[in-house]
């Protein structure tokens, strides 16, 4: 700056009108410019650190002049960006076209927006039309219309009658008054309160693991816990019959999925051997390996051979992720699940996933395992990190239900007794007898019972219609509320067969269970008999298309 100032000053001082090429009118301008530069230089020198800036510019220009040019350009661009408005004003720009009010109205009238959602398909409409609405409180007996008949509820998981338990209702009311409805935040921020920590400790102590972590939704638990551990390149060996939530978790994990035949332990070992052979042949670094299965399978009620799976996972060095969303609160002497049912220590399973909604009639889910497994999910499981935590009253009701299971083991005895009584009523319709019409793959100890047609029609649509007619017949004739197993046909990896889904409760009276079995049996015989006696089965199907 001083060099420029000196040059201009000298030029202005020595300039003579007769002997210089600079026009006389410019001399006052040069003098003013010299004065301005001098003032700027004087002010700049007063700025703290200005000598450092000058040295930086000189050295930068000397070493890399293009860098100085770039920095100057960026500085000018930043100044322009700050001074210029973020949006263009109305009428700004050469291409701006101002429309009249009439033209605006015409454009608005011509606008044809796309629908937010597609119209329901015939299958969707059929499903929506056949979903009953319960009026009043849920429980063992419900009403599906404002002035309708009372129906025995065989459609809702309520293994031990916790839905109608007075103690749990009182706990929910007291918690609601103290903590309010929701937590308004994820557990990792301000969504964790003392009742959550107590519920996690109660679950871990009840099952027999080091720790547990609770989730606000059981479905989110299953689809989030798996990808929290399994990543791209890892190997997961899964049963082909696992539920929809597990399928989503496997898909999100992007792991290498290997399937084995549903419930077939020989095929499981074959797959494990095949994976081991491939690893030895290809070499490379070791990867994480998981076996994923359900305790009681949601799609058919089958029981996992847990001792054999644990034997294989130890032999081939796998980690086991066990989904007990159906079996927790139903299986075992105290409802601890299939680990208690088989007498297997819970710590033999690396991760136990369970539902508080199915087993304890509250809400949410949990993952039980080691401290490392649970703590890892608190910062790596998307459902734990990003979802609002479980409402306090659902956590306290879960703790209360566990206390009841500990104190009243007879609840599980009543449940098993009712399951056996119900299955007895249907025994003549399954098997190899000439009167057989159905097959029940569900375990004899499972309160979740799936009933499949022994000789189903060729199309799934016809099979669904037959099952729906059985549902309607049970409701109209025997006052039973049962349901078909609902499927997301367009998203299932392996299409499960249509079935009737029955949920038995230990809280039901034995006479009601016996009557329910007889009523369902009569409905199956009537509907299937009508189809067999039809001269033209296509006529029967056509009569149901407009249902």
* pLDDT band with cut points at 50, 70 and 90 for residue 515: very high
What are the CB-based long-range contacts (under 8 Å, 24+) for 433-439? 437/524, 437/525, 437/528, 438/524
Residue-wise pLDDT tens digits, 229-250 = 999 999 999 999 999 999 999 9
Please give the sequence-ordered ranges of beta strands (E in DSSP) within 92-234, or none if there are none.
141-143, 150-153, 211-215
- Average pLDDT over the chain reads 87
* pLDDT band with cut points at 50, 70 and 90 for residue 87: low
Structurally, what CATH architecture does the domain formed by 165-407 represent?
A: 3-Layer(aba) Sandwich (3.40)
pLDDT of residue 16: 46
Does residue 88 have a pLDDT over 70? Answer: no
pLDDT of residue 535: 43
Task: Please report the DSSP string for 517-547 in residue order.
Answer: HHHHHHHHHHHHHHHHH-S-HHHHHHHHHT-
Buried b (16+ CB within 10 A) or exposed e, 193-218: eebbeebbebbbebbebebbbbbbbb
- Compute the Cα dihedral for 500, 506, 507, 512 and give only its sign: positive
29-38, 198-207, 454-463: which has the minimum mean pLDDT?
Answer: 29-38
Does residue 1 have a pLDDT over 80? Answer: no
Q: How far is residue 181 from each of residues 188, 209, 395, 542, measured CA to CA in Å?
A: 19, 30, 12, 49
The Cα 72–Cα 70 span in angstroms is 5
| Structure tokens that stand for 36 in this block | 């301005």
Best CATH choice for the domain 122-153+410-545 from the list 3.40.50.300, 3.40.50.920, 3.90.1150.10, 3.30.2130.10:
3.90.1150.10
Domain extents in the chain: 1-48, 122-153+410-545, 165-407
pLDDT of residue 8: 44
The Cα 98–Cα 96 span in angstroms is 7
Does residue 57 have a pLDDT over 50? Answer: yes
In the predicted model, what is the mean pLDDT of residues 107-134? 86
* pLDDT band with cut points at 50, 70 and 90 for residue 147: low
pLDDT of residue 61: 66
Widest Cα–Cα separation across the chain: 131
pLDDT of residue 357: 94
Is 498 in contact with 458 (CB distance < 8 Å)? no
Residue-wise pLDDT tens digits, 444-475 = 999 999 999 998 888 888 899 999 999 999 99
| Sheet with strand 351-355: strands edge to edge | 211-215, 365-369, 351-355, 319-324, 289-294, 235-239, 256-260
The Cα 47–Cα 54 span in angstroms is 12
Is 123 in contact with 484 (CB distance < 8 Å)? no
pLDDT over 70, % of the chain = 89
**Residue in 376, 326, 334, 380 with CA at minimum distance from that of residue 351:** 376
Does residue 161 have a pLDDT over 90? Answer: yes
């Amino acid at each position: 700056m001083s060099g420029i100032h000196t040059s201009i000053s000298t030029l202005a001082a020595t300039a003579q009108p007769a002997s210089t090429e600079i026009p006389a009118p410019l001399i006052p301008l040069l003098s003013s410019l010299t004065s301005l530069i001098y003032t700027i230089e004087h002010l700049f020198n007063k700025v703290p650190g200005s000598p450092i800036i000058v040295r930086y510019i000189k050295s930068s220009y000397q070493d890399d002049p293009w860098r100085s040019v770039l920095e100057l350009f960026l500085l000018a661009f930043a100044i322009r960006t700050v001074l210029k408005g973020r949006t263009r004003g109305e009428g700004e720009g050469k291409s701006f076209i101002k429309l009249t009010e009439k033209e605006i109205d015409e454009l608005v009238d011509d606008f044809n927006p796309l629908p937010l959602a597609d119209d329901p398909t015939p299958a969707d409409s059929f499903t929506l039309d056949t979903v009953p609405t319960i009026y009043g409180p849920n429980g063992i007996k419900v009403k599906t219309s404002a002035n309708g008949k009372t129906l025995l509820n065989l459609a809702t998981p309520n293994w031990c009658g916790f839905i109608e338990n007075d103690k749990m209702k009182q706990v929910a009311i007291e918690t609601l008054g103290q903590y309010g409805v929701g937590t308004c935040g994820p557990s990792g921020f301000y969504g964790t309160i003392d009742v959550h920590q107590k519920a996690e400790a109660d679950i871990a102590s009840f099952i027999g693991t080091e720790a547990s972590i609770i989730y606000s939704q059981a479905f989110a638990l299953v689809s989030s816990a798996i990808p929290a551990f399994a990543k791209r390149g890892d190997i997961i060996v899964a049963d082909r019959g696992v539920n929809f939530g597990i399928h989503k978790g496997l898909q999100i994990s992007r792991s290498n999925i290997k399937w084995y035949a549903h419930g077939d332990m020989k095929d499981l070992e074959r797959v494990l051997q095949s994976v081991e052979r491939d690893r030895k042949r290809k070499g490379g670094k070791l990867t994480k390996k998981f076996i994923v299965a359900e305790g009681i399978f949601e799609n058919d009620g089958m029981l996992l051979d847990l001792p054999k799976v644990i034997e294989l996972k130890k032999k081939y060095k796998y980690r086991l992720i066990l989904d007990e969303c159906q079996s927790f609160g139903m299986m075992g002497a105290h409802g601890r699940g299939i680990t208690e049912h088989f007498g297997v220590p819970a710590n033999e399973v690396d991760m136990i996933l369970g539902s508080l909604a199915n087993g304890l009639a509250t809400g949410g889910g949990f993952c039980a395992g080691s401290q490392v497994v649970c703590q890892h999910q608190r910062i790596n499981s998307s459902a734990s990190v990003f979802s609002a935590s479980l409402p306090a009253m659902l956590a306290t009701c879960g703790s209360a239900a566990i206390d009841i299971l500990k104190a009243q083991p007879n609840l599980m005895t009543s449940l098993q007794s009712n399951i056996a009584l119900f299955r007895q009523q249907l025994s003549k319709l399954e098997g190899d007898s000439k009167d057989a019409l159905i097959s029940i793959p569900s375990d004899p100890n499972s309160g979740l019972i799936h009933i499949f047609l022994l000789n189903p029609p060729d199309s799934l649509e016809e099979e669904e219609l037959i099952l729906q007619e059985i549902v309607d017949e049970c409701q109209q004739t025997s006052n039973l509320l049962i349901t078909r197993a609902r499927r997301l046909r367009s998203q299932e990896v392996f299409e499960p067969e249509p079935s009737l889904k029955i949920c038995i409760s230990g809280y039901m009276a034995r006479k009601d269970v016996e009557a329910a079995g007889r009523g369902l049996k009569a409905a199956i015989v009537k509907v299937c008999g009508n189809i067999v006696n039809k001269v033209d089965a296509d006529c029967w199907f056509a009569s149901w298309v407009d249902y």
